[in-house]
Structures are given as C-alpha cells and as structure tokens.
Amino acid sequence: MKAFVFVAAGLVACGPSTRGDDDFGDDDGSNGSNNGSNNGSNGQMDACKNMDIVFVVDDSGSMSEEQSNLGTNFPMFATAIQNFTTNAGDHLDFRIGITTTGRDLTYEAIQTPIGPFAPPPEFGPNGAFEMQPNCGAGKWLDTSDTTLPTHLACRANVGTHGASQEMPLLMAKRAVVDREMDGTQPGFVRDDALLAVVMITDEDDSSNTQDGTLVPAAGALPINWQPADTITAFDQLKGGRTRWAAAAIAGMGNCTSSFGDAVNAARIQDFVTQANSMGSTQAVFSSICDGDLTIGLTAALQTFQDACNNIVIGRQQ
C-alpha cells in the first residue's frame, strides 16, 4: 500500500555524505526566494500571510482506496484553507501543488534457471507537480481558484500505476528544490510563505538519489537519502526551522484498516521526530490505519495553522 505524508520546509540536521545528482549541491536557501511580496524591509519581519503547500501522494498499486478517501475529504481541507485567518485577521494567500512518491527506476537483471530476468522499468514525476485534464489550469492551484475544493479533489486522483519504490522524503525535497532550480515549476516557493508539504503512504520511505538506479530484481532497494537530509534541505531552502511545517499520514506500526495493510513507516516517523527536535511541534504524524484520512488531514491543517499563527516570515534586510 502507499500513503501520503505532509511535510513542510525548513528542516535542519546533517545527513550522510552520499549524495546523488543535484541533491544538495548548491541548495543555499536562495531558490524561490525572490517570489514573495511581503518580505520585511528595514529589518522588519512580517507575520505569516502566505502558505505554499505540497502534497506527496503515493501512487502505487495499493493506493486506490486511500486516493478515493482523499478525494472525498480534500474539499474539507480546501475550504478550511480558504476560510483560515491569521492572528492579524488576514486570509491566506496560498498555493497547492501535488506530486507523487515515485521516480524513474531501472531494475538490474538477475540470473534465473531459465536465464537473466529483470522487471520492466518504472516511471515517476520525480517531484514535478501532476496536472490532470479538467482539474484546474496551471501547475498548481491557488487562492484565485473559485472551485478549489473540486479541483483539489480531482488532482488527488494521481492513479495507481506509479513506481513501486516509495520515496516521499526525497520527492518532497525535489518538488521544492530541484524542480524549482531546473525550471519545471519556478516561482512556486516564496520566501515570505510558510512551506507545508504533505506526504501520504502505506509503505515506509526508501529514498535513493542515484540517477539510473539499478535496483536488484530480488532484494531491497539501496537507501542513501536519510530523514535528516530532507530536514537539512528544507532548513537551507527556507532559512530556518520556523519557516516550515510538516505532517505525515502513514503506518504507525504494521497495521490494518479499511484501506488494507500498511507497513510501519519508521523512517517517516524518524523524520517527524527529528523535525521537532528543537522543541517545536511543527511536524505531526497520523496513522493511515485510522481508516479515515479526515483525521490526518485535520491534524496537518491544525499544525500548519498553528505554525502560521506563531511564526514570522521574511528575511532581515
């Protein structure tokens, strides 16, 4: 099974030295930093008024029930975001993008009694936002969409033919860093916005950064991207832990619900724990085995709202 996880940018922590392609590289926090309109001036800092939200949705073969439930409950999330006001009484200027947990993978052949065998390659958006026909124009949805609940529910239907190796931690980072840098979705990340990423999956994370990865046809996928790496990338992108929030909906222990079976998402739980290691509560983990994604979506929304009301956004000039 696959699931979705909510995460937000601003992570801090050091990861292993193994890096793939453009991961980390020159992530110096400058990406997307010129797109905000509410940055403070003369040393001033503005209250949070903007929110950039990314959903990372598991699109593997076991996720059809979860996607259906998400589509049913996304209108609630959209309406709540539209109605939310900050402590100053301002409505949010928000934008919402959706990607999946998958990336392109090539499988290495193994020897069998009848000769070499390898499964066919798998494909994924690699952090690029998914756009479906009749689900609203543009690479992401925003405050101006008068039918946001309908369009958001429509875009949640990302299908169940994605890569079988779920990489929510890496795809969350690539959506807001790599795809910004290569011009796939430039301008999504604003310097003066809280970055909130949502990941949902019924498997644990198995992130690997290597391009053209040769995954053994029998055996585990090599993992070289750690929870701390995503935290570091978000911290660098946003310039501090207080400028992001996170929520995960995944397996809390091996569990079963009306969606089916879920695997204990130990790495994703570790991500949430590390994100909150500085005494914050900006990251939250909910069990996908609650059987109703309203519970996890509500927890994510509350976490994002609390983060927006209790922080300031912007950089000292």
Per-residue model confidence (pLDDT) at position 57: 93
Q: Tell me if 58 sits within 8 A of 203, measured CB to CB.
A: yes
Whole-number Å distance between alpha carbons of 128 and 174: 8
**Fold entry, domain 4-15+44-313:** Rossmann fold (3.40.50)
What percentage of the chain exceeds 70 in pLDDT? 81
pLDDT at 4 over 50: no
Q: What is the DSSP string of 43-95?
A: T--EEP-EEEEEEEE--STT-HHHHHHHHHHHHHHHHHHHH-B-TTSPBPEEE
Place of tokens 């619900």: 257
pLDDT at 287: 94
Report yes or no: 212 and 11 within 8 Å, Cβ to Cβ.
Answer: no
Q: What is the pLDDT of residue 200?
A: 94
Q: What is the 3-state secondary structure (H, E, C) of 267-289?
A: HHHHHHHHHCCCCCCCEEEEEHH
What is the C-alpha to C-alpha distance for residues 155 and 53, in angstroms, rounded to an integer?
Answer: 14
For the chain, the helix, strand and coil percentages under 3-state DSSP, each to the nearest 5:
25, 20, 50
Domain locations along the chain: 4-15+44-313
Query: Is pLDDT above 90 for 44?
Result: no
pLDDT tens digits, residue range 268-311?
Answer: 999 999 999 988 888 999 999 998 889 999 999 999 999 888 77
Averaged pLDDT of the chain: 82
Which H or E run contains 311?
none
Residue 76, classified by CB atoms within 10 Å of its CB into exposed (0-12), middle (13-18) or buried (19+), is middle
Beta bridge partners of 57: 200
How far is residue 225's CA from residue 171's CA, in Å, rounded to a whole number?
Answer: 11
118/190: higher pLDDT: 190
Percent of the chain with pLDDT over 90: 51
Tell me if 36 sits within 8 A of 50, measured CB to CB: yes
Chain center to CA of 292: 19
Least confident of 133-142, 148-157, 193-202, 305-314: 305-314
pTM score: 0.83
**Quick one: pLDDT at residue 172?**
98
Cα–Cα distance, 308 to 216 (Å, whole number): 44
Q: What is the pLDDT of residue 115?
A: 85
Mean pLDDT of 237-255: 93
Band of pLDDT at residue 171, cut at 50, 70 and 90? very high
d(CA 40, CA 17): 36
**CA 287/CA 273 separation, integer angstroms:** 15
- Residue range 179-220, pLDDT digits in tens: 999 999 999 999 999 999 999 999 999 999 987 767 766 666
pLDDT greater than 80 at residue 262: yes
- Per the DSSP assignment, residues forming a β-bridge with 5 are 199, 248
Residue 137 per-residue DSSP state: S
d(CA 193, CA 126): 23
Q: Residue 261's closest CA among 9, 99, 77, 62?
A: 62
